[in-house]
A and B are shown apart, each in its own frame.
Chain A
Amino acid sequence: MSAATDTTRGTGTIRSTRSTVLGVVLTTVMLFPVYWMINVSLTPQQDMRKTPPDLLPLHPTFSGYQAVLHDQGPYLVTSLLIGLGTVALTLLLSAPAGYALARLRPRGGGLLSLVLLIAQMIPGIVMAMGFYGIFLSLGWMNTWWGLIVADSTIAVPFGVMIFVAFMSGIPGELTAAARIDGAGPVRTFWSVILPVSRNALVTVSLFSFLWAWSDFVFANTLDSGGAMRPITLGIYHYIGNNNQEWNAIMATAVVGSVPAAVLLVLAQRYIAAGVTSGAVKD
């Protein structure tokens, strides 16, 4: 039960093996719903309501995935566009602000940090209602750029706080050295702070993309009638329209989960690298 103990000695290997087994069991239990989603996505329609259900996809069918390719392609492209746009907007706003709050001590910075903390507490559903009125008068309803703006509100306060935390940890010698070399604040930010903050950049990009990709509240309120709708609405309408074809619904769900899986594989070490540790070495 002990945390970070000295398992390296003596009985270490036996305990380690036992821990691995227990870890595998726990992970299997935790991920079972994910497995079930994949299993259902491969189950033929006629077996869907069978008792007992097939625990393994013994007669896999790809008809669900064919339906996805046929019906959901445009939704996936829209989600990709909105996700990337949200990342760009979030980084553009939060990285410079994080730098200023962490290193330049603007007057009122403490208040601004408090506002950002509070901003994170505001429920998306309330924001959606406010945006609804504004978007109606601006004519931004059912547009992809409207959704980028709305989705970015989920990520920007988080982004600023990550950058502040990370950039406060960058050793003062680095910026002092840049200063002696004659670099102004902009130059320092661009050529010293940003390259060193790679981990924070990746973390913020990763989460803003995922949140935009996963967003349902804003999409459903602000883009439910648009020509370009994201994949979350694609799945939602699928559930509403053909209530019975669960293999197609689950196949869409699997496809909708791909970015999460890809980013987990590619960027896991950036999340794990922690907020301060990676930067000092560079």
Chain B
Amino acid sequence: MSLARADREPRSPAVPRATAVPAAARSAKRRQHLKSQVVAWAFVAPLVVYLAAFYVYPLYRNVDLSLHHYTVRSFVNGNAPFSGWDNFQTVFDDPTFWTAVRNTLVFTLVSIAFQYGAGLALAVFFSRRFRLSGLLRALFLIPWLLPLIVSSSTWAWMMNSESGLLNYALHFVGVGPVDWLTSPTWALTSVIIANIWIGIPFNLVILHSGLQNIPPELYEAAAIDGAGPWQRFRRVTFPLLRPVSAIVLLLGFVYTLKVFDLIWIMTKGGPGDASTTLATWSYRLGFGSLLPKFGPGAAVGNILIVIALAFGLLYIRVTRRQPA
């Protein structure tokens, strides 16, 4: 938009009274347009090449993997026989499949619900003007900035059955020890707790910046109309925050769906399949044993992509329908 304007404004005074030059002007304009297109694409070209080589091609390889019967040998030689949907059939028939789907959904939805809820409450809290609020908000970022291996191993040690701090705290209030990471009933809950902790700062930061963009006059007007704090939140903050909320929830969904490090480091998806999600299952099939099943592993990965894209396209539709 701005370029088109910049193109025309300095130029139009130089063109003398446009009476007899429509054809010449049009072709000059077209040449100008073509030139600007070439320049624009020159800036974008490295990115396009990069995306083709390091996004599209790996994904193509992944689809290719899932449609062939690969072994370690044929993986290197590249002469695996075509096997059609066999790998997908193997995956669907595996009892782990539905467990992994269920765990993925529970992990993702519960994590997001708590991250968003806590993030929003904290964002509203930190929008009050009080001393140290900036510093404290910055400190809140730490869990999100830490490498996942750091936070995961810290939580794993805190949740250790024998000498973990969490069980000591439970003992302190008179509750028996919980096998956080080693019992099938608790493993998924445990990784969800750690994941919520990691995700809160992201929600806080984005929602807080969204709050800053709400004009203060609206709150003043609402206060004059006699709206209490809760009314102001419900009628002003929440509706005006909806676009930002959509972004946070989509990104949260995408990030959470693909969480692998945290679960793998804390439980390796175990015990049994108790905390196995599609992401950890895919990894376990492809890399987790000495006898890798690349085909089924890639098949699970492709299923994961399809789920992510389904929700991603839903998000794009929702945001497009919003009036900017």
Contacts and interface: CB of A to CB of B under 8 A. Distances in A.
Contacts of A66: none
A235 B150 CA distance: 8
Nearest to B240: A3
A130 B297 CA distance: 11
B154 A235 contact: no
Contacts of B10: 176, 179-180
B92 interface: no
Contacts of B212: 4, 274
Nearest to A233: B149
Contact of A100 (B44, B122, B157, B223): B44
A192 B119 CA distance: 37
Interface string A1-34: 1111111100000011101101110110011011
B265 A216 contact: yes
B15 to A, nearest CB: 16
B6 A23 contact: no
A103 B2 CA distance: 7
Interface string B104-147: 00000000000000000011111111111110101111110111
B43 A100 contact: yes
B211 interface: yes
Nearest to A275: B209
A4 B51 contact: no
A44 B39 CA distance: 63
Interface stretch (B56-64, B81-89, B180-188): B56-64
Given A112-B44, A160-B47, A125 B282 contact: yes
Contacts of B60: 130
Contact of B43 (A6, A104, A127, A263): A104
A227 interface: no
Given A3-B233, A129-B282, A176 B9 contact: yes
Contact of A126 (B43, B142, B304): B304
Contacts of B58: 127, 129-131, 134
B130 A20 contact: yes
Contacts of A134: 57-58, 61
A1 B148 contact: no
Contact of B312 (A51, A121, A132): A121
Interface in B154-179: 154-155, 157-158, 162-163, 165, 168, 171-172
B47 A172 contact: no
Nearest to B230: A1
Contacts of B143: 30-31, 33-34
B138 to A, nearest CB: 5
B229 A2 contact: yes
A231 B163 CA distance: 26
Contacts of A236: 149, 265
B191 interface: no
Interface stretch (A56-64, A90-98, A194-202): A90-98
A40 B157 contact: yes
B198 to A, nearest CB: 10
Interface residues of B, number: 109
Interface in B28-74: 36-37, 39-41, 43-44, 46-48, 50-51, 54-55, 57-62, 65
B39 A185 contact: yes
A256 B132 contact: no
Interface of A: 1-8, 15-17, 19-20, 22-24, 26-27, 30-31, 33-34, 36-37, 40, 48-53, 92-94, 96-97, 99-101, 103-107, 109, 112, 114-134, 136-137, 149-150, 152-153, 156, 160, 172, 175-176, 179-180, 184-186, 189, 210, 213-214, 216-217, 220-221, 231-232, 235-236, 239, 246, 249-250, 253, 256-257, 260-261, 263-264, 268, 271-272, 274
Give 4 closest A-B pairs by Cβ, nearest first.
A130-B58, A172-B2, A123-B258, A100-B43
Interface of B: 1-6, 9-10, 36-37, 39-41, 43-44, 46-48, 50-51, 54-55, 57-62, 65, 75-76, 78, 122-134, 136, 138-143, 145-151, 153-155, 157-158, 162-163, 165, 168, 171-172, 197, 200, 205, 209, 211-212, 214, 216, 219-220, 223, 229-230, 232-233, 237, 254, 257-258, 260-261, 265, 279, 282-283, 286-287, 294, 297-298, 301-302, 304-305, 308-309, 311-312, 316
Given A19-B130, A264-B145, 14 more contacts: A1-B229, A2-B229, A36-B165, A40-B154, A97-B46, A99-B43, A121-B308, A125-B258, A127-B59, A133-B61, A172-B6, A186-B39, A216-B147, A260-B146
12 contacts: A1-B230, A4-B127, A5-B128, A49-B163, A105-B3, A120-B254, A125-B260, A126-B282, A136-B76, A235-B153, A264-B138, A264-B145
